[in-house]
Amino acid sequence: MTETGRFVWYDLMTTDLPAARDFYADVMGWSIAHAGMPGTDYTLARREAVPVGGMMTLPDAVRAQGGRSGWMGYVAVADVDAASADLRAAGGTIHRAPEDIPGIGRFCVAADPQGAVFVLFRGAGPLPPAPPPGTPGHFGWHELHTRDWEAAFAFYAHLFGWVKTDAVDMGPMGTYQLFGAQDPDAGCDGIHTGGMMTNAQAPAPFWLYYVNVDDIDAAGSRIAEGGGRVVSGPHQVPGGAWTVQALDPQGAMFALVGPRASA
């Protein structure tokens, strides 16, 4: 099954790397250590020895342009340069031109036509298999908050081959459209990988990434104890899981999904 169109990695750019390391290690149960890449403070987060994502200090140049702490998701493509050209032709923006990470792969920082930022990525070798759905400590859901989800979906469907799965009627909040990556050999894989919604209240369009936890209330308590803040939830979602949306101590938004032991 092809990896094209799948989220395969996640990076946090933060204003206080040591504090962020401590916070996420406690909340997510991650083990965190320097990646050993010369000339950079890039840090790897692992859950039971399996790499989950990376962290680094927010570059001064990004701060000078108004950038803030936040998570970015990497989407796999067959050819980063071709995908970046396709993205630009479809109305997207390139924030960092394609370049290589020696021994790792090639990447490009981009944004969709409404401004949500993400990364195009092709690994230098085969990508590791995705963990089973719901595995604690791993990213398990991807959610786009945008100004016009229908226009956004058309853009991503063109770029990555995403297909619509279920649609959830959220009443006055509109439609929450679920999507999945598509395998050209087998059609839609049938697994929901994310959702998108029109959110006029968001300061700007953005991607929100959910980490699986084994107890949503216990994880929420760890957020507060670590200096973060839960801004929404716990809320039950279709399928029975519970979610919270939160800010880490440096202001980066993230979310959690999992069961509620008290429910």
Q: What is the mean pLDDT of the chain?
A: 91
Residue % of the chain over a pLDDT of 90? 72
> Which residue, 181, 117, 120, 172, is CA-closest to 145?
117
State the pLDDT confidence band at 66, using cuts at 50, 70 and 90. confident
Residue 48 falls in which region: left (phi positive, over 0), alpha (psi -120 to 50) or beta? left
The model's pLDDT over 86-113, given as tens digits with 9 standing for 90+, comes to: 999 999 999 999 999 988 999 999 999 9
- Structural domains of the chain in order of their starting residue, each with its CATH number: 7-123 (3.10.180.10), 139-258 (3.10.180.10)
The whole-model pTM stands at 0.93
